[in-house]
């Protein structure tokens, strides 16, 4: 009977590994072992799998958290266990109390962070494919309930995943369908030595209180509460993956990287289901340099509701950390606030020889100047190109940032027009205007707004003998 129960545990892990593709033959796997019954039983299961079923190279990793005197003895016993099984052993004595003082974190959060930090160090040292964790069905139920009480969305209710990539290594949890009682029973019947951490009984820790009080109380109304919560996690996890893939598909179709900003068109966004709208905004925010705790439901929903408002076509919404979401006509963009990124610059070009490229590092763009004969001249095809009668231009040329009150003599229009009004007439979004350089002649006249309009100064005529041809482009694209 004991052998049958043990084989059932091993087969359970093998089935999970096959279903979720947790490893392939020859993989090097770091197995996290705390010394408790869960991880001790798990290490033995993995050892049997690696010796009898699938060739795997195991590394046992143990963290001494520095809280209890008994931890010294436990670390030594885990080292002996790994040696007895013929498994490489790595351990560290983490100074969690000092980490708590340094970060202000609680004991459980600080211990977890130091533990995962060490596991990733071991994985990097051995070039391991994955880190195997002994989380089981009871842990999963606690996690789902904890997230439910916090008001989590689908991703939280999905609980822990069988496989998740983190820092170029897979975190795998093959025991998520195994109950803790089965792991403890395996240790007792097989004679595996393990230790009990007394801190697991302290109700001051929220997870402990959920395990000791909340789940038993709710269990009075559902005798299969733990299996039900695990079922919920699996169902929600699959649906969460489906929705996440939909968000990535929408991102690839709708979102463009434009001048360091993430942009999309409002009409396309409005066609998405509200769930995908939220997911798309979350995905965009995750690509921005924001702290993870900034990307919450309230911020996402505030942005979404602002985007779908039909009556406002131009606005800017500060989303924190120098970033903003802006609407300019039918274009929504995410990026650094314009008041943060605007920089003043001025370059004077008195003389140059041949083709010359001026790099505008402040806006990550360039202006190229090409001397040209009338025989080689062709009429510019877009506002990114402009041609001038070189003999009629006053030197030196100046390329600078826009100034308040700038005006330009527009070709085909008598008199001058404010640059601001030119931008408005050409429907140049405010967030893009800071990336439009201003080209002036030696008298200070604006002769060209690259990518927008050229002036009436020094036009190319039939009797023109020398032409200065200019183009503008993004440095990142050209480089």
Spatial neighbors of 335 by CB under 8 A, at least 6 apart, are 259, 260, 261, 262, 288, 323, 324, 341, 431
Distance CA 75, CA 72 (A): 5
State the sign of the Cα–Cα–Cα–Cα dihedral 41, 46, 48, 49.
positive
CA distance 123 to 132: 10
d(CA 361, CA 304): 34
In whole angstroms, what is the distance from residue 23 CA to residue 48 CA? Answer: 15
**Cβ–Cβ < 8 Å for 429, 328:** yes
Omega before residue 381 within 30° of 0, cis: no
Q: How far apart, in Å, are the Cα atoms of 67 and each of 40, 64, 205, 209, 247?
A: 20, 8, 15, 20, 43
Strands ordered across the beta sheet of 130-132: 88-93, 57-64, 28-32, 130-132, 169-172, 163-166
- Dig out the tokens for 315 from the structure: 């606005």
| Residue 38 annotated in ligand binding | yes
Helices (H), 152-224: 154-157, 180-190, 206-209, 215-219
Q: How many CB atoms lie within 10 A of CB 467?
A: 20
Q: Is 228 assigned a ligand-binding role in the annotation? A: no
Structure tokens at 361: 């590092």
Cα three-residue angle 365-367-371, rounded to 5 degrees: 160
Contact 426/462 with Cβ under 8 angstroms?
no
For residue 138, what are the CA distances in angstroms to 180, 226, 315, 334, 395? 6, 6, 49, 41, 78
Q: Using alpha carbons, list the distances in angstroms from residue 410 to 171, 421, 442, 444, 449.
A: 62, 12, 18, 15, 10
Q: Is 36 annotated as a binding residue?
A: yes
- Is 292 annotated as a binding-site member? no
Biggest distance spanned by C-alpha atoms of the chain:
104
Query: Taking a C-beta distance cutoff of 8 angstroms, is the pair 394, 464 a contact?
Result: no
User: Does 35 carry a binding-site annotation?
Assistant: yes
465 marked among binding-site residues = no
Binding-site residues for ATP sit at 34-39
Binding-site residues sit at 34-39
């Amino acid at each position: 009977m004991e052998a049958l129960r043990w084989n059932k545990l091993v087969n359970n892990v093998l089935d999970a590994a096959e279903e979720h593709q947790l490893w392939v033959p020859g993989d090097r796997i770091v197995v996290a072992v705390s010394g408790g019954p869960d991880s001790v039983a798990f290490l033995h299961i993995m050892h049997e799998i690696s010796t009898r079923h699938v060739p795997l190279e195991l590394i046992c990793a143990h963290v001494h958290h520095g809280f209890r005197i008994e931890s010294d003895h436990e670390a030594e016993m885990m080292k002996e266990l790994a040696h007895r099984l013929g498994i490489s052993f790595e351990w560290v004595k983490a100074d969690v109390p000092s980490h708590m003082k340094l970060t202000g974190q609680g004991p459980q959060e600080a211990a977890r962070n130091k533990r995962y930090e060490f596991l990733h160090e071991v994985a990097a040292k051995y070039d391991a494919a994955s880190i195997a964790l002994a989380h089981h069905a009871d842990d999963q139920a606690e996690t789902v309930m904890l997230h439910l009480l916090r008001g989590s969305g689908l991703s939280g209710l999905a609980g822990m995943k069988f496989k998740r990539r983190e820092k170029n290594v897979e975190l795998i949890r093959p025991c998520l369908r195994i109950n803790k009682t089965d792991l403890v029973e395996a240790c007792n019947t097989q004679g595996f030595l393990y230790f009990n951490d007394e801190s697991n009984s302290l109700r001051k820790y929220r997870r402990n209180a959920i395990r000791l009080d909340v789940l038993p109380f709710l269990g009075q109304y559902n005798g299969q509460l733990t299996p039900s919560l695990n079922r919920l996690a699996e169902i929600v996890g699959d649906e969460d993956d489906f929705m996440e893939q939909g968000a990535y598909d929408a991102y690839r179709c709708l979102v463009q990287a434009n001048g360091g900003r993430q942009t999309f068109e409002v009409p396309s966004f409005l066609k998405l289901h509200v769930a995908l709208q939220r997911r798309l905004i979350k995905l965009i925010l995750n690509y921005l340099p924001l702290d993870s705790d900034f990307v919450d439901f309230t911020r996402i929903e505030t942005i979404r509701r602002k985007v779908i408002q039909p009556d406002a076509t131009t606005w800017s919404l500060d989303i924190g950390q120098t970033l903003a979401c802006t609407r300019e006509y039918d274009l929504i963009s995410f990026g650094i606030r314009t008041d943060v990124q605007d920089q003043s610059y001025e370059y004077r070009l008195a003389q140059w020889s041949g083709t010359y490229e001026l790099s505008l590092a402040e806006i990550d763009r360039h202006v190229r100047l090409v001397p040209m004969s009338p025989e080689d001249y062709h009429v510019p095809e877009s506002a990114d190109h402009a041609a001038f009668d070189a003999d009629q231009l006053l030197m030196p040329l100046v390329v600078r940032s826009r100034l308040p009150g700038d005006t330009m003599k527009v070709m085909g229009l008598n008199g001058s027009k404010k640059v601001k009004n030119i931008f408005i007439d050409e429907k140049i979004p405010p967030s893009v205007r800071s990336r439009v350089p201003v080209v002036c002649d030696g008298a200070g006249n604006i002769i060209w707004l690259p990518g927008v309009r050229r002036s009436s100064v020094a036009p190319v005529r039939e009797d023109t003998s020398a032409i200065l041809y200019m183009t503008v482009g993004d440095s990142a694209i050209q480089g």
